[in-house]
Structure 1
């Protein structure tokens, strides 16, 4: 898939859809703590979804999306309201992921140059990779948020792999093809964990799949969304910016 247009369309058919319908991907996994001189520890199960839709624009596409994800008890899978830090005994209110929007613009000739998503093929297996390495001024400066932030620069890595079949991509009548994926995230402690400048951070390790629609999400997730943020049952209707992250969501919730 050396041709940028073919590469872009194939990636979108894998990750989302070229059609107008909402696309839902679901994931589940675990969140581990790592800190110098300490054994790794599993803190949470983590389950969530992204719901979005594709719009064609001059020179490429836009993907309009929002996503929700929930920190769960590592033993029972119950969605948590509070969490007790096992090291300090501090009781923390859990702030789940309610990120709206999480939009993407994918252009054949964008600000970073010609489009090309890294891809490998072995037999009928097609494997896409996205390594998103982040470093930018933190939305939570340490001077203002000493309990919630360890650095004035936010540093993290989001590592995705998407898997599909060449035999599906070779069917042009399919606007969307079946897809499974994995996701690893390396990040600082979450702001709501109130760990401040304590050394260490988190490893998120999840796997997931593209669903046939919102109704295919597990019932307990649909119930939780209906009770807390029912607009997450559908993709955004219009493009907006900037994107929301766990850090900006925390800041906005605690503004003033």
Structure 2
């Protein structure tokens, strides 16, 4: 399988990076992990066909992680003329929050009936479910977003992709990422504690216990962007491709 960081930035445009959006492609299909506000632009720049995306998995419902959905759905309806089904899976409360976002950005757009099958799937934390051919287990994290914020453990084609979403350090992250072929973890800060976000020193103290084959840091603020990757990790950048 191949993962491409279409966007790996934070909410503040640090380093001029696009908001979070990971593209995963395997033998059986393609899906996105998160769809931040700039994601449709990142898709176009990278040459990824939005109609080829079968599912979008959301860690939490902040604008830099799901704010691109109204644009993605409008494009599917009127420009890309999508006909294939699309599944959007995210935390409990997703349907209402998505509707509110659509109406805030494009009034009455949530009332437009799509010309394709659109499935909204709520993912209760702690329940492993099969969604669009991917086994997904959401794990509750420490990050306020108005609805649950989850790490995602995604299993497809014999590979395990773990993603922290946004979170301060929590022991629950160990189980969410343990033994993953690829673990992507937010890395907003290092050496200081900020509510709801990772101090990378806390992550580094548990890397051996997590035991992921590869750990990639994402969602970095300016102070992390200015540093070299800590031992045992790789720093993401937009357009980075990783086979796993």
- TM-score (normalizing by structure 2): 0.26
Determine which structure has greater relative contact order: mean sequence separation of CA pairs < 8 Å that are 6+ residues apart, divided by chain length: 1
Greater Rg over alpha carbons, structure: 1
- Higher helix residue share: 2
TM normalised by structure 1 equals 0.25
